[in-house]
Amino acid sequence: MQEKIICFLIDDDDDDQEIFSLALNTIGTDITCITANDGIDALNRLNMDAGFVPDYIFLDLNMVRMNGRECLTEIKKLSRLNTTPVIIYSTSSQEKDITETRQLGAADYIVKPSSISILVQRLEQVLKKMK
């Protein structure tokens, strides 16, 4: 029996969290989505629970209390997460954002799509590629 895949979504938009969770549920029941409402909440969780090592981290860039770049920089300081891919999940499709986040250590970049079916396809591609 395959173990559950843990995806950690850091996004300050409730609707985006719900859509992302629905997309993962469409892909398979062996995927669990855990959410944090912003970078500070995410880092608190990651720093307080040393046993929490998600298989994938999906990170929004445009958040209020701590933006995605700052959060990514802090996540990359946690050695236990060295092998956990961090995938940017943002409305921005600017080449500058894609390039900068890759330089900071992001494994991939997903532009938030206009439909859940496109999101499902894109998430399937990322999950297969990162296995």
Question: By C-alpha distance, which of 5, 124, 45 is closest to 108?
Answer: 124
| 113 contacts 119 by C-beta, under 8 angstroms | yes
Mode of pairing for the β-strands spanning 108-111 and 5-10 = unpaired
Domains and CATH numbers, the chain: 5-125 (3.40.50.2300)
Q: Kindly report, residue by residue over 1-60, the tens digit of the pLDDT.
A: 457 899 999 999 999 999 999 999 999 888 999 999 999 999 999 999 989 999 999 999
Residue 123 has pLDDT above 90, yes or no: yes
Considering the chain, what is the average pLDDT of its residues? 93
Q: Supply the pLDDT for residue 1.
A: 43
Number of C-beta neighbours around residue 27 at 10 A: 16
Question: What band does 99 get if pLDDT is binned at 50, 70 and 90?
Answer: very high
What is the amino acid identity at position 36?
A: A
Q: Is residue 110 pLDDT above 80, yes or no?
A: yes
Phi and psi at 15, nearest 5°, equal -65, -45
| Percent of all residues in the chain with a pLDDT value above 90, rounded to a whole number | 85
